[in-house]
Amino acid sequence: MDEAVGYSTDYTPHEDYEEQGLLCRWEHCIENMPLPASQHSPLSCPVFGHCCPGGVLEVASCDKSIGDVPEKRFVVLTAEEFLRDVLGILGDE
């Protein structure tokens, strides 16, 4: 996968997800899926919140939560880094 995790345009199940340290077979494309009208929708991924490409049965059988995402996958930014890198408010000095 050449794209960032979650943003792939390949909407087929990724069967090697465990070998790559992913939580499920849909994590590679989940960010491209729409957000449901309600976070309690039967289509809502319990980890990422987007509509699961696997459908209602996949969501119903999912035993994952946000707590299952390895801490090393979260990016921690200082306030200055956030302002500069994310919001583009601070210029490079």
Dump pLDDT digits (tens) for 11-45.
Answer: 999 999 999 889 999 999 999 999 999 878 999 99
Q: What is residue 81's predicted lDDT score, i.e. its pLDDT?
A: 85
Contacts by 86-91 with C-beta closer than 8 Å and gap 24+? none
pTM over 0.75: no
Domain ranges of the chain: 18-68
Residue 1 reports pLDDT greater than 70: no
Q: Is there a contact between 6 and 48 (Cβ–Cβ < 8 Å)?
A: yes
